[in-house]
Amino acid sequence: MAFRKDFLWGGATAANQYEGGFDEDGKGLNAIDVLTNGSATSPRKVTWKLPNGQTGATPVEWGGQPFKLPKDAVPALLEGYYYPSHTATDFYHHYEEDLKLMAEMGFRCYRLSLNWARIFPNGDDKEPNEAGLAFYDKIFELCQTYGMEPLVTLSHYELPLALIQKYGGWKDRKLIAIFERYAQTVFTRYQGKVKYWLTFNEINAIDMAPYIAAGLLDSNLNDRANAAHNQFVASALAVKAAHALDEQMQVGQMLAYQPAYPYTCDPADQIKVMEYNQQMLFYTDVQTGGRYPDFKLKEYEREKITLDDRPEDYELLRKYPADFLSFSCYGSSVLTTHEEAARESGNLGINGIKNPYLETNAWGWATDPDCLRLALNVLWNRYHKPLWVVENGLGWADELTADGKIHDDYRIKYLQANINSMKEAVELDGVDLLGYTMWGCIDLVSNGTGEMKKRYGFVYVDRDDHGHGSLARIPKDSFYWYQKVIQTNGADL
């Protein structure tokens, strides 16, 4: 048997894409609550206000386009815009039904995130919001009833909006202490109910989506470097707090990592891939090794980056590394210095270079049957820490057929290949793998585009891109297939 006996099979969601209830029971606004919807070809926008009352909407960073709000603009909720996170797929009012569906599939684990602004509505409030804390009590109690181990992300692109308005987001090191207090509050409250925690979802997204990942209003390098540093120190303090409270608690890192291939055998393409890996893994290098890798120090010197750091930060980073490593991986990408050649051969798609050996979905994401084995080996061989695949899945515009069902054989095919790839990493390569949580196990709003039609779930939710629909839950064919996978511990795919 390839997977360990206690392998944590399950699914994953994020509060801002799933919960809705954006202004209920004392919840404050979250950074994403002021993000509009976009599409496969147009970015989501941040809506803002100037002190003189002028308002507007600016596209978030998208495919390397620089992002900058007008001077003095602060993100704000405006009339006349559609904000997908406000109702999402309404887990806030459907949690009993949804957790029951997860239990029916046999989930041994459920990855969710806490909406920070539900607990500290302004981020730096004197007291936490009891109603917010109580909501998650109910969730964790149900998880216990069903024997599902929760895996909880403290900040899955969730940041109280007030912390952006007041401090400009994670570029300000004051957020470290604010986050530490939040972490301590929830560790204490949920002690005995939650053992596994993650600090920042896809921490390296600071480089690709600075507003979403760190509440930055500008994609300049200096702010991004400081935001990353502050999140590193905040993560180390979370590890310290968790261990001081309960030796059983484990706090992991979460990275977005997918393999990249050179488009040609030109060594320049191979260098591009090497640099891509350096940049992706920089975050894990720091969170496991406690020091900045040399290439990054050189880059900061070259770019004249000034970190607002302290000597004791580095002691914390050394003393409190992440307990385990988790990552998201959906496919793979291709890099090249020969864009012209790729365009001429028809291999340049909406998401950059298309891999002629792989299929892509309608959003240009390549489905790669070997991506997990490759990614797991890179991470295992470099860090030798227990690994956890916490996001993987296929975004598809599922259609309800006349029989009232969703026949998502394409999703089953994708998952068969991906789970098999993971199995090879365990069986053939000896990777220590703790679990697998398929992304968006019950349909939710897309993070990248804010759309509803980009669905990942085993369960369909009746809701469209404009917020209409009954919110009824309908198990897809993949629901029954995954049930069997879990029952046989991955032996029967």
Say whether residue 45 binds ligand BGP (CB under 6 A): no
For ligand BGP, how many residues bind (rule: CB under 6 A)?
A: 14
Q: Contacts with ligand BGP in 198-217 (CB under 6 A)? A: 201-202
- Shortest separation between residue 90's beta carbon and ligand BGP, angstroms: 17
CB of residue 315 vs ligand BGP: minimum separation in angstroms? 30
Instruction: Mark the segment that binds ligand BGP (CB under 6 A) among 271-279, 307-315, 446-454, 467-475.
Output: 446-454
Q: How far is the CB of 204 from ligand BGP (least distance, A)?
A: 10
Among positive and negative, which fits the CA dihedral 143, 25, 215, 363?
positive
The stretch near ligand BGP (CB under 6 A) out of 163-171, 399-407, 418-426, 444-452 is: 444-452
**CB of 129 or CB of 155, closer to ligand BGP:** 155
What's the closest the beta carbon of residue 477 comes to ligand BGP, in angstroms? 21
Q: Which of residues 305-334 bind ligand BGP (CB under 6 A)?
A: 328
From the candidates 61, 149, 158, 391, which is the catalytic residue?
391
Distance separating alpha carbons of residues 172 and 194, to the nearest angstrom: 29
Q: Which residue is nearest to ligand BGP (CB)?
A: 448
Binding of ligand BGP by 19 (CB under 6 A): no
Tell me: does residue 391 bind ligand BGP (CB under 6 A): yes
Looking at beta carbons only, is 285 or 451 nearer to ligand BGP? 451
Active site residue 399: no
**Calpha distance 482→106 (Å, rounded):** 9
Does residue number 14 form part of the binding site for ligand BGP (CB under 6 A)? Answer: yes
Which token pair is 330?
């959906």
Candidates 118-126, 163-171, 240-248, 445-453: pick the segment binding ligand BGP (CB under 6 A). Answer: 445-453
> Which residue in 448, 457, 475, 490 binds ligand BGP (CB under 6 A)?
448
Torsion angles phi and psi, residue 197, rounded to 5:
-130, 155
Annotated catalytic residue, options 19, 61, 158, 202: 202
Closest CB 469 distance from ligand BGP, rounded Å: 18
- Segment interacting with ligand BGP (CB under 6 A) among 26-34, 262-270, 447-455, 481-489: 447-455
CB of 158 to ligand BGP, least distance (A): 10
First-to-last CA distance in the chain? Answer: 13
Residue 147 and residue 107 in contact, taking contact as beta carbons nearer than 8 Å = no
Any contact of residue 447 with ligand BGP (CB under 6 A)?
yes
Residue 198 vs 317, nearer CB to ligand BGP = 198
231 near ligand BGP, rule: CB under 6 A: no
Q: Where does this chain touch ligand BGP (CB under 6 A) — which range of 82-90, 367-375, 401-409, 443-451?
A: 443-451
Q: Any catalytic annotation for residue 247?
A: no
Of 467, 292, 281, the residue nearest 382 (C-alpha): 281
Among 256, 376, 406, 438, binds ligand BGP (CB under 6 A): 256
Looking only at residues 474 through 493 of this chain, which bind ligand BGP when binding is defined by CB under 6 A?
A: none
What's the min distance (Å) between Cβ of 448 and ligand BGP?
Answer: 3
Residue 254 CB partners (closer than 8 Å, separation 6+): 153, 198, 199, 200, 201, 202, 203, 326, 327, 328, 390
| Structure token digits, residue 55 | 């308002």
Nearer to ligand BGP, 49 or 224 (CB): 224
Nearer CB in complex with ligand BGP: 287/449 = 449
Which position among 30, 36, 47, 446 is part of the footprint of ligand BGP (CB under 6 A)?
446
**Exposure on the CB side of residue 187, measured as CA atoms within 13 A:** 25
CA angle 104, 440, 381 (to 5 degrees): 105
Q: Shortest distance, CB of residue 149 to ligand BGP, whole angstroms?
A: 20
Complex with ligand BGP: residue 156 or 385, whichever CB lies closer: 156
Q: Which residues pair with 57 in a beta bridge?
A: 47
Candidate list 439, 458, 460, 481; residue touching ligand BGP; CB under 6 A: 439
Which residue, 112 or 216, has its beta carbon nearer to ligand BGP?
A: 112
Report the interhelical angle of 477-487 vs 409-427 (nearest 10°).
Answer: 20
What are the tokens at 293?
């890798």
Distance between CA atoms of residues 486 and 492, nearest Å: 9
CA 66 to chain centre: 21
395 counts as binding ligand BGP under rule CB under 6 A: yes
Smallest distance from ligand BGP to CB 3, Å: 23
User: CA-to-CA distance for 404 and 432, rounded, in angstroms?
Assistant: 41
Residues designated as active site: 202, 391
Q: Which parts of this chain interact with ligand BGP (CB under 6 A)?
A: 14, 17, 201-202, 256, 328, 391, 395, 439, 446-449, 454
